Amino acid sequence: MAEFTLDLNDDQKAVREWIHGFAADVIRPAAAEWDEREETPWPVIQEAAKIGLYSLDFYAQQFFDPTGLGIPLTMEELFWGDAGIALSIVGTGLAAVGVIANGTEEQIGTWIPQMYGTPDDVKVAAFCSSEPDAGSDVGAMRTRAVYDEAKDEWVLDGTKTWATNGGIANVHVVVAVVDPELGSKGHASFIVPPGTPGLSQGQKFKKHGIRASHTAEVVLEDCRVPGSCLLGGKEKLDERLARARERAKSGGERLKNAAMATFEASRPAVGAMAIGTARAAYEEALEYAKTRTQFGRPIIDNQGVAFQLADMRTQIDAARLLVWRASWMGTTGKPFTSAEGSMSKLFASEVAKKVTAQAIQIFGGNGFTREYPVERMHRDAAIYTIFEGTSEIQRLVIARTLAGLPIR
């Protein structure tokens, strides 16, 4: 039996140091500027592309790390640099995963390269799922996709919201309802190719945090895409819908639990993002506390400050262990019998909000200004308890899982 260890192997250490170097040398110096501009940091994305950090190949390598730690290590270091810029770098990955999970080999080979572009001409992609009335409640989705058999086209109509890269993306992946009677089981995903008429950007959101990441509505009006843009193909969709109709009569909950397993496996990555932001704020506060003097001594000599830092570090390390456990479970196929994925995302996101707030407190008045980065980190941290499932949804998932109840 292999000995239990939390030591990273040499490859993992090398990747972590490589990403940390990029975050320190390229992302950090640009963070304040792009936060103020509230624009996509194209030059930084291009720099990431030039070294292979902005590419499907890199993220695929990390995803297939047999320990499950490749993705959380990557996310923690990038988001340690800056959450807004990091989200601009990794946002395309969500759309890419949607294609890989549901598409054919031909669709993957056709569309993934167009999502990333080239180092000299970088592109981004957008995954469009949330709607004004369908965030946590995916069953309330209204965007429709109707098949025009005569033209072999799908006609998309509806409005998506909170779409990272929405409207500026080269490729959009849109989730739409194809069978309203099946609720969330009647959804399908579609590629909207570049320049397709009927797709437009709606409102661009001016956000509290992660402001270097473009977030907007995507409006679909009589948006026609070829039949080949249905991910997985029409035959596969018809078979899946037929099975869903049968399972709706008996055994439908098994389908719901299988879907929840997918979410459980992806949520630790968001937890790792939160840890990166929390760690950055903690390190800034620690350094400030060691150098800032009041009453003739560094403020870290005061228990009121020192104990805060002790709690901050303890909570960050505890959050990382939960994320690593859930990531390992997802990669090795261990069942999430206690919603361990949701646990990791819930705890890490709450820690990020708390730690960044404590960092501002340690900085005092300076921490409340934009002259110091902890103010930005605190604004960025607020998103972690909201996107990819709010803290309230995570608690609901955990509670119902512990009670043996289906997740609705």
Residues involved in catalysis: 388
Judge contact between 223 and 192, C-beta under 8 A.
yes
- Beta strands in 129-239, from DSSP E residues, in sequence order: 144-148, 153-164, 171-177, 187-192, 199-204, 215-226
DSSP 123: -
Closest CA to 336 of 274, 268, 273, 269: 268
Give the whole-angstrom CA distance, residue 142 versus residue 139.
Answer: 9
State the residue for tokens 């790390």: 65
User: 106 Cβ partners below 8 Å, 6+ apart?
Assistant: none
Judge contact between 255 and 242, C-beta under 8 A.
no
Give the whole-angstrom CA distance, residue 55 versus residue 78.
Answer: 14
CA distances from 123 to 47, 117, 168, 236, 345 (A): 13, 5, 9, 30, 29
Residue 273 exposure: Cα atoms within 13 Å on the Cβ side: 27
Give the phi and the psi of residue 229 in degrees, each rounded to 5.
Answer: -90, 0
Partnered with residue 121 across adjacent β-strands are 118
Closest CA to 385 of 354, 356, 350, 359: 350
Give the whole-angstrom CA distance, residue 123 versus residue 92.
Answer: 9
User: 174 Cβ partners below 8 Å, 6+ apart?
Assistant: 128, 143, 156, 160, 189, 190, 192, 218, 220
User: Is 402 buried (19+), middle (13-18) or exposed (0-12) by CB count in 10 A?
Assistant: exposed
